[in-house]
Structure 1
């Protein structure tokens, strides 16, 4: 019912927004004398704020100075390659599936375009995926990671931003346990909740203070009829956005008040910066109910990965199996979402990995967003990651560990195939140019 009411309010407010746009255009017209008065500018600013705070925000574009090409795709996600195929190291940035679109990592991608062949996961908005495509849970997320690593390998480097830290580590551990030849050379974890028992934040406390049944009752809603995924049970993006904004309401209120003043004063540059940030921040996507609930249970309530109890399709996920893929963990000093030590836990949970293949970095003066974006990410964090990747790219690979296989000579990550003729595109340099499919 909540989602239906939200959707109905968007439809009902559409005429008011149209009228507001027309009124704002009239107030701001250079032919209107009122446009040059403080009262006229205040009226135009008020109308713009009304329109911006009530309208839905579409998925933004990356708008980076590099050609985009989809090189892998399935119903719930795809991989976008930036630029032309080169001999530079391959870096897959796994974007979080936590409410915002992958374009939130625009700055993260841009920081590596000049030194790497960059790929990024672009997850689908669950409300636009027809029910006929089935369900998508945390286990499916791990399967997608396995398939992407295989499709983009060999010599692939991976970066997991926040939420993907657990499924990405799980996928790598499964590949290592099977002695898979295409296991990534390195993985960098940026502010990932590997072990949320360490320095729990308000986010962790909120999750642990309720059982899974509470989240199922209050956070899960069916998609309304006007969307392609009508009837699918989802965790709506607008609920996640409300949660994000409720953590710092004063900051968001003051930001909008400052924009109002910038518009009244005619400070267009500052107003444009505000628009650019909130066009991205307010554009949200829905998550499938099963993914949201399984992630809550596995990561925030039961802490299965750090306790050594996580399983994937019946197989144990043992981080001790990781012995070839180097691990770098990055945390922010002022991160109020992922507490201090939660990401560094990955280094303690990989005892089979040589110390030379581990690195940690605590970035002073940044919060959660600053761990993967902003000036300090570009000038301090990104150079460290590039140096870490460079060291692993030239390091001599350790011998493959011999482990029992269920089918000799065949990698089996799960009961679900990790690749098929439907969804894997040739990601070799020649294949990216031709765009041919396997």
Structure 2
């Protein structure tokens, strides 16, 4: 009933949101129609109404060029491998060869991989970038089978093997656990495709450390409560009909409830900027929320297994994690340089949770390890924005190049 109730609501508000969107576009094209001074305020109001609608399809990356060596270079997107649950997306820069190959692992946490648009754009200056473009489970037929934590790890291993040896691995937020597990399994197998470097950013390697609201919630309820309360079934009208999922709109509401004042202030600021005619700043806020309100479901098995393995039992941190029947031994990692990055103000994955990976990789020499705490940023500032570009990214680039 959870998903069906939401879908009824979404269908009800769709006409109003669509009309508001059309009205905002019309008013934007005629900002002072008939000398009517209230047009900017009316446009802003319509824009806010239009933003209420959630979408469930991946927005476009819109990356058509990159700056390499100070020169603009055309970029095209190419799918080089595909499963029912994910596309391995290559941002091919025309005429550029010889730079390190990187697999960037996007989180599967209620948003699409386009949340890393800025991360990709920055890395394209110096790297051959591939990205895990996860598909929305509500569009994946039941016949495609299950997708849980084990399948997530196996996807990473499979993609690294597809790309071949020398591919560096960068994981952001929730998939840091799976990325570390994949690197450990490949190291134990002496897999020639094991990554020469592993960068883990703002991820819950050990969620026992400095618990955030997210961690407290995970520990406050039983796994059965999460399944009973938060899992819904995809309605019959969609390709993934009858698939059990953790709906993306529920995750979005959970994220927003952590900082409701911040979102209220941002939307008020959007209205004020439109009214004052500061459209570039207003566009930046609008574009963020268009992206933020594009939600993706998670399969029920992946969500529940992540809650259990990562946030309730902390199995990787205790050396007790099994993937597809195999115990993950992080001590096996001895050729992969490790960089961990945390944000000083991260209220989703607190300081100490990601650096825990350093203590788990005991076979790495000291010169192959590095940790960085980025001051002045929250969760998203670790991999997006000015400090990411000027302070975090140079460290990521350095460990990749020195390990290549």
Query: Which position in structure 1 is the counterpart of 2:30?
Result: 30
The whole-number CA distance in structure 2 between the counterparts of 1:88 and 1:32 is: 50
Paired residue for 1:82, among 79, 91, 114?
91
Q: Which residue of 2 aligns with 1:330?
A: 341
Q: Which residue of 1 aligns with 2:154?
A: 143
Note closer, same or farther for the CA distance 1:160–1:19 as it changes in structure 2 (3 Å cut). closer
Deviations 1:387-436 (A, max 9, x none): 1111111xxxxxxxxxxxxxxxxxxxxxxxxxxxxxxxxxxxxxxxxxxx
* Inter-partner Cα distance in structure 1 for 2:377 and 2:304: 29
Instruction: Find the partner of 2:318 among 307, 311, 322.
Output: 307
Query: Which residue pairs with 1:61 in the alignment?
Result: 60
Helix, strand or coil at the partner of 1:68? strand
Report what 2:12 is aligned to. 12
**What SS does the corresponding residue of 1:54 show, helix, strand or coil?**
coil
Q: Using the TM superposition, give the Cα deviation of residue 55 of structure 1 relative to its aligned residue in structure 2, in angstroms.
A: 4.8
When residues 339 and 27 of structure 1 are mapped into structure 2, their CA distance, relative to the original with a 3 A threshold, is closer
Structure 1 partner of 2:289: 278
Distance 2:158 2:26 in 1: 53
Task: Give CA-to-partner distance per residue, 1:231-273, whole Å, 9 cap, x none.
Answer: 1000000000001110110011111111111222222112211
Cα pair 1:28 1:35 within 8 Å, conserved:
no
Q: Decide which moves more: 183-192 or 25-34.
A: 25-34
Per the alignment, do residues 167 and 271 of structure 1 end up closer, same or farther by CA in structure 2, a change over 3 Å counting? same
CA offset at residue 28 of structure 1? 5.5
State the Cα distance separating 1:24 from its structure 2 match.
4.3
The alpha-carbon distance between structure 1 residues 16 and 178, as it changes in their structure 2 partners (threshold 3 A), is: same
- Structure 1 residue 107: deviation in Å? 1.1
Report if aligned partners of 1:220, 1:235 keep a CA contact under 8 Å in 2: yes
| Deviation sequence 1:269-304 (CA, Å, 0-9, x none) | 122111111111111100000000001100000000
- Quote the Cα distance in structure 1 between the aligned partners of 2:296 and 2:23: 30
Matched, 1:72 2:73: no
Structure 2 residues not aligned, in runs of 5+: 66-74
Cα separation, partners in 2 of 1:171 and 1:32, compared to 1, 3 Å: closer
Shift of 1:26: 6.0
- Number of paired residues? 392
Rg larger for: 1
**In 2, Cα distance between equivalents of 1:349 and 1:31:** 59
DSSP 3-state at the match of 2:52: helix
- Distance, in Å, in 1 between the alignment partners of 2:251 and 2:356 is 26
> Scaled by the length of structure 1, what TM-score is found?
0.86
Match of 2:246 among 223, 235, 247: 235
1:359-383 per-residue CA deviation (whole Å, 9 max, x = no partner) reads 1111111111011111000001111
Q: Give the CA deviation at 1:80.
A: 0.8
Q: Which residue of 2 aligns with 1:175?
A: 186
2:45 aligned partner? 46
Instruction: Judge conservation of contact 2:249–2:295 (CA < 8 Å) in 1.
Output: yes
- Report the counterpart of residue 255 of structure 1 in structure 2: 266
The whole-number CA distance in structure 2 between the counterparts of 1:34 and 1:206 is: 54
Partners of 1:126 and 1:229 within 8 A in 2: yes
Partners of 1:19 and 1:117 in 2: CA distance? 42
From the superposition, tell whether residues 358 and 48 of structure 1 become closer, same or farther in structure 2 (CA, over 3 Å): same
* 2:208 corresponds to 1:208: no
2:28 and 2:177 mapped to 1: Cα distance? 50
Q: Structure 1: how far apart are the matches of 2:30 and 2:184?
A: 63
* 8 Å Cα contact 1:27/1:34 also seen in 2: no
1:370 to 371, 377, 381: 381
Cα contact 2:201–2:382 (8 A) shared by 1: yes
Secondary structure of the 1:380 match is: helix
